[in-house]
Amino acid sequence: AQRVTQPEKLLSVFKGAPVELKCNYSYSGSPELFWYVQYSRQRLQLLLRHISRESIKGFTADLNKGETSFHLKKPFAQEEDSAMYYCALFTNAGGTSYGKLTFGQGTILTVHP
């Protein structure tokens, strides 16, 4: 069975400091990973996906299959980055069968001024 682990429930940094939110996964197939973010009083929204290899709002995440990790990084944190971050693994049963997201427990990031 698939599993996503985010070891830190809370992460606190100062503005301008680097930040890394950890995510480890367990899955026997080829993983498709996402980071979702939820800002205060807003809905859950996609931040980035590994398949796109993109940088969104200064965040990047690299899939490391050897370490089964997909850590989220930003070199210089901003106050507006304060939010709840979820790492999620998409698994598909194949063909037109369903695909679901398995989420980690989330990490609350607080960026202090």
Partner 1 sequence: ETGVTQSPTHLIKTRGQQVTLRCSSQSGHNTVSWYQQALGQGPQFIFQYYREEENGRGNFPPRFSGLQFPNYSSELNVNALELDDSALYLCASSVREFTYNEQFFGPGTRLTVL
* By CB under 8 A, residue 103 contacts partner 1: yes
Interactions with partner 1, residue window 9-28 (CB under 8 A): none
* By CB under 8 A, residue 102 contacts partner 1: yes
Q: Which of 26, 39, 105, 112 binds partner 1 (CB under 8 A)?
A: 105
| DSSP secondary structure, the chain, as one string | --EEE---SEEEEETTS-EEE--EEE-SS--EEEEEEE-TTS--EEEEEGGGT--BTTBEE--BTTTTB--EEESS--GGG-EEEEEEEEEE-STTS-EEEEE---EEEEEE-
* Site mask for partner 1 (CB under 8 A), range 32-61, x = bound: x-x-x------xxxx--x-xx---------
Q: Which of 16, 29, 75, 99 binds partner 1 (CB under 8 A)?
A: 99
Q: Which of 10, 93, 94, 113 binds partner 1 (CB under 8 A)?
A: 93
